[in-house]
A = this chain, B = another copy of it.
Amino acid sequence: MNYDVKGNKVTGLNIAYIGGGSRGWAWGFMKDLANDPQICGTVRLYDIDISAARRNETIGNKISAHPNAISRWKYTVADSLQQALTGADFTVISILPASFKEMRSDVHTPERLGIYQPVGDTVGPGGFMRAVRTIPMYREIAQAIRDYAPDTWVINYTNPMTLCVRTLYEVFPGIKAFGCCHEVFGTQKLLCAMLKENTGIEAERHELYTTVTGINHFTWLTSASYKGIDLMPMYADFASKNWQEGYDEGGDLNWMNSSFRCAQRVKFDLFLRYGAIAAAGDRHLAEFVPRWYTMTPETVKKWKFGLTTVDWREQDLANRLKRSDDLISGAEEIDLAPSGEEGHLLLKALLGLGDLVSNVNIPNYGQCPDLPLGAVVETNALFGMDRIQPVYAGNMPKGVLPLVARHVQNQENALRAILDGDRKLALATFMNDPQMGNVGLEDGKKLFDDMLEAQKAYVPKGLLG
């Protein structure tokens, strides 16, 4: 590490940003850095779309130059992974594996078998296919980290989160990597809303404690409390009361107006079945179980969440490209609004500037005693100077365990099959997803092959028929 520590401040930090051309998450991160009085340094942006990286270099430096910026970071562009990584104290990875063209196949091709995926980037046939093209990219990144920056701390934001982080550790077991996701935050905010509705108390989500266990996007809260108040019985009532109609925060936040909102009906239903709080958006949760909530588009509507179309995503990207132009040209003014993410706080904790407990995706060292060691799980961990220590999450609720364990085993098999180019294991794993239900081998194999074909350029040798 080459940075300077003095009086609870760190200067001279080097951050490598892989996927540094990102329009969206990158900007939020830049603003969070600009707002932070304790850390300062350089961010090296690397992207296979180098022009996107260059545009973000401009935007980053504009953010840094904002008169209200507390900390002035320098943004540069790196031409290669080697250049980005060499000397990096931290490495952020946030990439889009291939393009929305491939994602269109992930999300929509399975519809021909009646499989409607609200997201399609984590599990289900879509998540599997996304993993097929992402894992080889992560193998390359892991090798570069091993060769050029073995001591760097790595923060991953890409989906499929679990398999991205898992690949990093499989390829370079000495890596110090973790994955961050804000889905749990949303459920914590729901608990705050519930608390306010029930007691009038206005709490921030940071003031709650929730015991987190499971895997990314299929995370469960087994305890929740606020200053001596047990929130679990309160949630039991809340779920019963709102199961029928859903809980809608109204206005812009209404699920009908947004691909990303939901009325929490799936979450409540899962609570009534299993007695623990599923802690991700309903769109994600619905993909981890049989097609209970997605049998038809009407079923989805009944459960009050949205199927995010790839049309929508393409339009959204166009909007963000436009915003990128505007930010560079000045047509849109730079602001410094915090992102609500915790990335920079975790980074500070790792520098020794204040311990922090947060949920994180790392290998299982025993924090999830019911799941295999080494599988990537999401639980709380204690972040501190150069260390992430998982916090024991206790046993998983008995009814939940088989649901989660099934995906863990599929993910472990997907990793093996994709790294090794093992077509037989890949197909067996693809078929074993809950969304595949009773789909027979013939139909399943055809879907498998068609979906591979749609992203052929990215598929490891051996997987193709």
Contact = CB atoms under 8 A, between A and B. Distances in A.
A120 to B, nearest CB: 18
Interface stretch (A19-27, A325-333, A421-429): A421-429
Contact of A424 (B366, B399, B410, B412): B399
Contacts of A148: none
A282 B275 CA distance: 37
B392 A402 contact: no
Contact of A209 (B225, B351, B384, B438): B384
Contacts of A355: 209, 357
Nearest to A225: B385
A437 interface: yes
Contacts of A393: 389
Nearest to A431: B273
Interface of A is mostly: mixed
Interface stretch (A45-53, A90-98, A255-263, A288-296): A288-296
A229 B352 contact: yes
Contact of A292 (B226, B403, B412, B438): B438
B424 A211 contact: no
Interface in A352-390: 352-353, 355, 357, 365-367, 369, 380, 382, 384-387, 389-390
Nearest to A379: B389
Contact of A391 (B386, B389, B402, B427): B389
A307 to B, nearest CB: 17
Contacts of A211: 387, 389
Contact of A228 (B274, B351, B412, B436): B351
Interface residues of A, number: 66
Interface in A439-465: 439-441
B392 A428 contact: no
B209 A385 contact: yes
A416 interface: yes
A37 interface: no
A301 interface: no
A5 interface: yes
A13 B113 CA distance: 55
A369 B209 CA distance: 26
Contact of A399 (B8, B229, B413, B436): B413
B223 A387 contact: yes
A390 B269 CA distance: 31
Interface string A206-218: 0001010000000
Given A209-B385, A228-B351, A274 B438 contact: no
15 contacts: A8-B227, A227-B352, A230-B385, A269-B441, A273-B441, A366-B392, A389-B391, A389-B393, A390-B391, A398-B413, A399-B428, A399-B429, A402-B413, A403-B432, A405-B406
